[in-house]
Structure 1
Amino acid sequence: MKPLYLFLFLLFLSPLMVCGQSGSIRGVVKTSDGNPAEFVNIAIEGTSKGDIADKNGKFEIRNVAPGNYILVASFIGLENTQQPVEVKPGETVTVDFILKENTKQLEEVIISGRATLNKEDNYVAKMPLRKMENPQVYNSVSSEILKQQAITSYDDAFRNIPGVFRTWESTGRDGDGASYFALRGLEGQPALVNGLPGITNGNLDPANVEEIQVMKGPSATLFGANATAYTSYGGVINTITKKPYFTSGGEIGYNIGSFGLNRITADINAPLSQQNKVAIRINTAYHTEGSFQDAGFKKSFFLAPTLAYEVNDRLKILIVTEILEEERAVAPVFFHSNRAEPLTFKTIGELNLDTKLSFTSNDLTIKNPRANLQAQMVYKLSDQWSSQTVISRGSANSNGYYSYIWADAEGDNDFGQYFTYVKESRTTTDIQQNFNGDFKLGSVRNRLLIGLDYFTQEAVNNGLGYVFIRNVTPQGGENFISPDTGEELAPVYLSRASIDNLLAATPVNNSKLTNNTYGAYISNVMTITPAITILAGVRADYFDSDADDFDQFALSPKFGIVYQPVLEKVSVFANYQNAFNNVAPMQVADEDGNNQRLKTFDPEQANQWEVGVKTNVLKDRLFAMVSYYDIQIKNKVIGDVNNFYNYIQSGKVESKGYELEVTANLFSGFSLIAGYSHNETKNKEGFANDFYSEAGRAPGGQGPQDQVNVWATYKFSSGNLQDIGFGLGGNYASKYRVIDNSITGVFDLPSYTVLNASVFYNPERFRFAVNVNNALDEEYYIGYWSVNPQKPRNIVISMAYTF
């Protein structure tokens, strides 16, 4: 046995002996105009050793055996640069690279999606972390993908992200008028812009989007609860805006398409000072569009000026402004159940909904103007510490008509249509102070975040009540029989004058509500060894509302671990994440309605554990990730089936599933994004027969259990077809149970497959493309306890000139 012990000892000792004799290579990569070049791969030719330049262009390759090597700087889409280097025992040699490209040219390549798939991100962890070392799962859609797919609607971008499904289109109504999405089976809405609150009651415009991120799982530790009031325990949607650069450039674009689509965009960047680094970038869009149904339209104007000022090497200032004016005629949500009686129609075929009917008119519109302002100051305190001070101010408004269709009584073909006039303004202010440190304690690298967060929101509601207008049938019939009295009422026309006449008798809301949240958080990423990284963080959150003098306190922890058996190539990770929601007090009473009182509740909680593997292989040309998650939600407030006037905090919901993502740039001109997700969401504890919380049943809004997304493009780089390319992809969704209850029965939206295709011509400065969406003209639906038909086949022709 002694020889075996000796062998094991030498086997263990040999790497230490090699490391003790090895050297290192470090340096900086810059563009031709002298700016740091991020994401550039630095590799030792003929070996697996290498590094990726950080945001300052710096790289370092450690534990290199003595000898002569060729050092290669590579960037997908650019020509490789080589330099010879000699490494001596115990010494560090410096090798710098200067690329042929300037900052603007490099940025264009980065935006095109050909940059490293393991790029560093500053938003998900609120500190610079590469994908391979971050234990949290996140997916993103770049501005280049938006161009490839000729996406003119922000919502359509999410067809490229696994495990995300739109369940409800934007209604524009007050409070939660943005589109709803199912993220890992749990409801959510877009809520963050550059990691800060960015509320909206209507649509978002993609003109200023650099990237859309979906940070999977509960994420309150860093982002809180109220700043993400309508986000999901299954994920947080963060929109990253375009930033200025310090050379002149821009793009003018025009889209024309089916259903009256006309869209003009401009992206103009200009340096404002020859001596100082000051630049402005303006993105703007004018959009008009009709509908595939018999009524409905959208008209909007968007303007987003952004100013960047690099005062010196230590201080940087960024000011982001977004202004949107929007008016729409919105098709009502079609609720085909009253949620209390057995369903009359149990399938799409039985319901027989005419998909071309809008059940509205273009005279009944809603306006959703919004404005967001963000100011950020980053100051480098030292080589190890930096300070970030940010302030965000947002406003979102709803002003116009909102309508829904409801099955008042089951057993017939009549569905009641109700209208209200919403008039609400919502303003938010968020102030954050973050300190980021990057230092070593002994041999352990620490990347420490310490942050303070103050968030306040004011909502003023002066809208009207709801009024019954008419009964409609799914086939377009109508009558005016009151669901309450059974008498026939006078006909009502879908005009402003007619609807206003009925709404005049409804009460006017006159409410003003202010909420304040005070948060403090700390998070640390510890690199124990080059292969092992541990993340730990916690948030303390105090919520104070002037409604009924209500306040709550919550803690939100987060943990994660990453093990890289092959550095920068294979990453095994696990995480625990938490989120919470402040639950407002509710008026309750005894069973007879007497003894009215205010009842308070604890914060609702969601806890997730997740495990998975990330791979980044083939010289940074293929990234793949697979993960399994389990989310448990507790403290949900549900109605008391034994007392109509009471609420009980005993509901529990479970969401489990797995996701797969693949991103590839396998060879020149080719790119691929693909994903698959499976989710099972159900109530774990609730009341028997209760529509919302019956145990073992789907709660609603969870989306299809299985989804697939694929998009591939190829562009010819030589020959007679040079600069011509094509794209092909689509989405599959399994059947989706929008109603699941033992009394009402179940209702499934059918599965569907939608195929999209594109042909384009894209030389250096010009792009012309024809995109066909839903090429096979599939009839399909989305819903949230509802049935909402989607667009048939449509064509978008896009043109753009870059300068």
Structure 2
Amino acid sequence: MKILHTLFFLLFFTIYGTSQNASVSGKIIDNNQLPISGVNVIIKDSNKGTLTNGEGVFKIENLSSGSYILSVSYVGYKTREMNISLADGQSLSLSAIILYEGNEILNEVLITGERTNKFSRKQTAYVAKLPLKDIENTQVYSTITTELLESQMITNFDDALKNATGVEQLWTSTGRGGDGAGYYSLRGFSVQPQLVNGLPGLTNGTINPANIERIEVLKGPSATLFGNAVSSYGGLINVVTKKPFVGTGGEVSYTSGTYGLNQIIGDFNTALSKEDDLYFRINTAYTTEQSFQDAGFRKSFFVAPSLSYKVNNKLSFSLYAEITQAEQTNPTFLFLNRSAPMEASNIEELDYNNKLSFTSNDLTLKNPNQNYRIEMDYKLSETWQSQTLLSKSTTSTRGYYTYLFDYGILGNNTFTRFINKQNSNTQTTDIQQNFIGDFKIASVRNRVVIGLDYFNATQTDNGTGYAFYGNITPEGGANGDNPFTPEIETEVYPLSTAGADAVLASQAVGNNKSKYHIYSLYASDVVNITDRFSAMVGLRLDRFDNEGDLTTTEDDYDQTTLSPKFGLLFQPITDRLAVFANYQNGFTNVAPQLVGNPDEGPQTLKTFDPEEANQLEFGVKTNLFNNKLNATVSYYDIKVKDRVITDPSSPFNKIQGGEVVSKGFEIEINANPISGLNIHAGFSNNFSETTKSDNTEILHRRPLEAGPETLYNFWTSYEFQNGKLDGFGIGAGFNGASESFAINYESTGDFILPSYTIANASIFYQANKYRIGLKLNHALNEEYYKGWTTINPQAPRSLLATISYKF
């Protein structure tokens, strides 16, 4: 019996061992015979899968004998599926698998695995509205990857954008209706983050980073493909969200830090039906945080469900949503006088105690926000695909908003507080229909997108008027003397809801509603004239229909605009080195204005052409040493023309003739010189000037929205790959800016915000299932400020600790 038992177990383990010892390996290449790293290779209907390495090679081990379907997918390429059969103990080596480019926006599959250059993402289907490698794109854009955000233990959107070359925060989110999201300077012009997965996604508050897969910052006027509603002359910010993937898994994490920061994040993905290729993912976060000042807080709850359904190899659907409930005190801004000289011209002269908030936790704003998107892909043929997209956004503001303004009447750098009760809502609808093709005419390859776009925005404001609510001085003084009355008053204005309601009771409540529509037709074609030389040509026809105030037709107007785009790109070394040049266009619709001397008779309404911005840019992109060194160096020159100005010969007439120039250069580097070491760095310098205007206040001066002239950022992290320190890692970096103008007018003089450099460092340990880390922000702990006709103090040194578990 013992002999029989022994033989039985030997036979069992022999069979079990061989049946679980098969493997499949191979290499993934593109149509140019070049390896593709980071490709998803999975065994369908299983949890077995991997990513290709830097050489495009993959290997899946510990497989049982049997027949399988091997699925190979990568964003921007057409998914391939192939049948394989494995015998016991077989090591199957496949011949090179070629992936051909095609649109895969809705089928982005993510598998945890090793990517060599973790801070670089060189493929996207959003920037050009069709799948295009960065090295093939004549437009410059920065990508902030989820690995970079994880390395820096990012807990808010503002810190995430510090990694984008040439981007500087002008002011943080105020939460107020209509424009409550943060403002950022990009290539000399202000911009707000208003794009999610290539579609409009508005907010009156901050964006939660828990659902961010990556951030794409497109540089330069981008109206040809995206219109002017979500972009600026400097570019646009596109947030790419996390999407469902094949498999089951997720992550939970908890972060705690200085100033009462507590953040819990959950991420869960599962198959609702493997047989039907129906997958569901949900990301959620709850965050609370206090201010470093004497008062102030923010708390938010965020949930983002998403669903993907692949009906068959031709048709697929996706549904995404982001729902946020947030409450905060509006941040402390000191609004500087824009029409009269101030007593102080810098922070030192202002004698500012930046630990004072000049508000209370009783006066808060609530910012509920919802974004929904439905996407449908249908493969019309081997060369054409239809993409239908619908997005809806609603963002609201309710509560108390205060601001402090220096009128220069009371002296002693006195700022007057005004308060109102916000009650506003903005709703948008966007419908796009794209036809995306990849075909040849003769021997010339064309990658084409032809699209129709309808955008609608409706704004409702039922807030109160603004009421005087006391004065403060920057060092902490307070009084109740209304600067607009002759008497000296000593009334006390308590920072409470009861006190605010008492003052606001006499203010009128608004009943304003406005609406506008944009109808657009656009087309873009990337033409491969040769294997190494390509051209990009694009054009947008845009029809703007403004209904304005819905109670009157006097402010109604419409305009039609053509927005062209053109680019040339040459690759001396295919997929490794590219030299490019581009022309890009942006525009802004201009409302009609009344002209004519009212003393000589009724004024007449004069219409104008849209204001335009044109950019010329050239530069170099690299993808060297098997994707270990990605760099972009570019020089741009943007000219804005047709700004409406007062006629120098008549104060009663308006003409189009104002001009602004913004030019500069940018350098961005992402490197992975050795295994485990990743580097991300950027440097930019911008010159901006109003070169033509009837307004001598701003003529030949740097526009305030241009921000600092020089910006720089650097971050590196290293994770030990073996030995006793395997899994341990460190990170360090800095970001900074030159001095900037908060005020820069002829009559007021300058108010200068000082230059700054912020240093950060982290240490972490990462195992198979969990990660723990510590992060020190602003290690030097020096005071620094940002602003745009404002002074906004920034948080001092803080310490974060995080722990996460993957399953």
Place the TM-score, normalised by the shorter chain, in its bin. Answer: 0.7 to 0.9
Residue matched to 2:77: 55
Instruction: Say if 1:662 and 1:674, in contact at 8 Å, map to a contact too.
Output: yes
Q: Is 1:272 the equivalent of 2:272?
A: yes
Instruction: Say if 2:121 and 2:145, in contact at 8 Å, map to a contact too.
Output: no
Counterpart amino acid of residue 534 in structure 1: A
- For structure 1, the residue ranges without an aligned partner over 5 or more in a row are 1-22, 45-51, 60-80, 86-92, 98-102
SS at match of 1:732: strand
Residue matched to 2:113: 109
Label 1:131 to 1:403 Cα distance change in 2 as closer, same or farther (>3 A): same
1:635 CA displacement = 2.1
Distance in 2, Cα, partners of 1:591 & 1:96? 69
Query: Cα deviation per residue 1:40-71 (whole Å; 9 max; x = unaligned)?
Result: 66679xxxxxxx99623679xxxxxxxxxxxx
Query: Cα deviation per residue 1:381-418 (whole Å; 9 max; x = unaligned)?
Result: 11100000000011010111122111112653211111
Instruction: Say if 1:245 and 1:279, in contact at 8 Å, map to a contact too.
Output: yes
1:593 CA displacement = 11
The aligned runs of 1:172-251 (5 Å cut-off) are: 172-226=175-229, 228=230, 231-251=231-251
Residue matched to 2:362: 363
Among candidates 662, 669, 677, match of residue 655 of structure 1: 662
Residue matched to 1:342: 341
Distance in 2, Cα, partners of 1:24 & 1:345? 63
Instruction: Say if 2:395 and 2:427, in contact at 8 Å, map to a contact too.
Output: yes
Label 1:406 to 1:631 Cα distance change in 2 as closer, same or farther (>3 A): same
Label 1:731 to 1:301 Cα distance change in 2 as closer, same or farther (>3 A): same
Label 1:332 to 1:218 Cα distance change in 2 as closer, same or farther (>3 A): same
Larger CA deviation: 234-243 vs 35-44 = 35-44
Instruction: Say if 1:423 and 1:463, in contact at 8 Å, map to a contact too.
Output: yes
Q: Is 1:556 the equivalent of 2:566?
A: no
Counterpart amino acid of residue 523 in structure 2: I
Label 1:237 to 1:594 Cα distance change in 2 as closer, same or farther (>3 A): farther
Residue matched to 1:402: 401
Residue matched to 2:11: none
Distance in 2, Cα, partners of 1:275 & 1:325? 36
SS at match of 2:309: strand
Residue matched to 1:88: none
The aligned runs of 1:745-756 (5 Å cut-off) are: 745-756=749-760
Instruction: Say if 1:254 and 1:799, in contact at 8 Å, map to a contact too.
Output: yes
Instruction: Say if 1:27 and 1:95, in contact at 8 Å, map to a contact too.
Output: no
Label 1:261 to 1:645 Cα distance change in 2 as closer, same or farther (>3 A): farther
Residue matched to 1:426: 426
SS at match of 2:705: coil
Distance in 1, Cα, partners of 2:786 & 2:76? 42
SS at match of 2:423: strand
SS at match of 1:657: strand
Among candidates 779, 782, 799, match of residue 775 of structure 1: 779
Report the count of equivalent residues. Answer: 734
Label 1:302 to 1:592 Cα distance change in 2 as closer, same or farther (>3 A): farther
Distance in 2, Cα, partners of 1:253 & 1:37? 24
Instruction: Say if 1:174 and 1:397, in contact at 8 Å, map to a contact too.
Output: yes
Among candidates 735, 740, 759, match of residue 731 of structure 1: 735
Larger CA deviation: 501-510 vs 154-163 = 501-510
1:221 CA displacement = 0.5
Instruction: Say if 2:397 and 2:423, in contact at 8 Å, map to a contact too.
Output: yes
Residue matched to 2:124: 121
Query: Cα deviation per residue 1:502-541 (whole Å; 9 max; x = unaligned)?
Result: 1222222111111111000010000111110100000000
Instruction: Say if 1:334 and 1:406, in contact at 8 Å, map to a contact too.
Output: yes
The aligned runs of 1:231-630 (5 Å cut-off) are: 231-336=231-336, 338-409=337-408, 411-489=411-489, 490-547=491-548, 548-586=555-593, 590=597, 595=602, 598-630=605-637
Counterpart amino acid of residue 202 in structure 2: I
1:348 CA displacement = 1.3
Label 1:95 to 1:682 Cα distance change in 2 as closer, same or farther (>3 A): closer
1:695 CA displacement = 1.7
Counterpart amino acid of residue 486 in structure 2: G
Counterpart amino acid of residue 204 in structure 1: I
Larger CA deviation: 152-161 vs 600-609 = 600-609
Query: Cα deviation per residue 1:432-455 (whole Å; 9 max; x = unaligned)?
Result: 000000000111100011000011
Instruction: Say if 2:109 and 2:244, in contact at 8 Å, map to a contact too.
Output: no
Label 1:645 to 1:105 Cα distance change in 2 as closer, same or farther (>3 A): closer
Residue matched to 1:675: 682
Distance in 1, Cα, partners of 2:621 & 2:432? 32
Distance in 1, Cα, partners of 2:201 & 2:289? 25
SS at match of 2:704: coil
Instruction: Say if 2:75 and 2:124, in contact at 8 Å, map to a contact too.
Output: no
Label 1:154 to 1:133 Cα distance change in 2 as closer, same or farther (>3 A): same
Residue matched to 1:158: 161
Instruction: Say if 1:38 and 1:55, in contact at 8 Å, map to a contact too.
Output: no
Distance in 1, Cα, partners of 2:362 & 2:287? 19
SS at match of 1:403: strand
Distance in 2, Cα, partners of 1:115 & 1:716? 15
Query: Cα deviation per residue 1:579-598 (whole Å; 9 max; x = unaligned)?
Result: 11112334567477984554
Label 1:27 to 1:621 Cα distance change in 2 as closer, same or farther (>3 A): closer
Label 1:785 to 1:725 Cα distance change in 2 as closer, same or farther (>3 A): same
Q: Is 1:762 the equivalent of 2:762?
A: no
Distance in 1, Cα, partners of 2:224 & 2:271? 38
Distance in 2, Cα, partners of 1:796 & 1:723? 20
Distance in 2, Cα, partners of 1:740 & 1:116? 37
Residue matched to 2:792: 788
SS at match of 2:452: strand
Instruction: Say if 1:689 and 1:743, in contact at 8 Å, map to a contact too.
Output: no
Label 1:149 to 1:646 Cα distance change in 2 as closer, same or farther (>3 A): farther
Q: Is 1:740 the equivalent of 2:762?
A: no
Distance in 2, Cα, partners of 1:567 & 1:436? 24
Query: Cα deviation per residue 1:321-376 (whole Å; 9 max; x = unaligned)?
Result: 1100000011232123x222222101211011111011111111011111011000
Distance in 2, Cα, partners of 1:594 & 1:330? 46
Residue matched to 2:71: none
Distance in 1, Cα, partners of 2:32 & 2:339? 71
SS at match of 1:272: strand
Label 1:190 to 1:794 Cα distance change in 2 as closer, same or farther (>3 A): same
Query: Cα deviation per residue 1:54-92 (whole Å; 9 max; x = unaligned)?
Result: 623679xxxxxxxxxxxxxxxxxxxxx99697xxxxxxx
Residue matched to 1:47: none
Residue matched to 2:696: 689
Instruction: Say if 2:647 and 2:655, in contact at 8 Å, map to a contact too.
Output: yes
Query: Cα deviation per residue 1:607-666 (whole Å; 9 max; x = unaligned)?
Result: 111000011111111101100001111122356789887755432111110000000112
Residue matched to 2:709: 705
SS at match of 2:303: strand
Larger CA deviation: 622-631 vs 405-414 = 405-414
Label 1:646 to 1:499 Cα distance change in 2 as closer, same or farther (>3 A): farther
Q: Return the TM-score normalized by structure 1.
A: 0.87
Distance in 2, Cα, partners of 1:332 & 1:648? 38
Distance in 1, Cα, partners of 2:33 & 2:539? 37
Counterpart amino acid of residue 293 in structure 1: Q
Counterpart amino acid of residue 633 in structure 1: V
Instruction: Say if 2:41 and 2:52, in contact at 8 Å, map to a contact too.
Output: no
Instruction: Say if 1:37 and 1:53, in contact at 8 Å, map to a contact too.
Output: no
The aligned runs of 1:2-151 (5 Å cut-off) are: 31-34=41-44, 55-56=77-78, 107-109=111-113, 114=117, 117=120, 119-151=122-154
Q: Return the TM-score normalized by structure 2.
A: 0.87
Counterpart amino acid of residue 143 in structure 1: T
SS at match of 1:107: coil
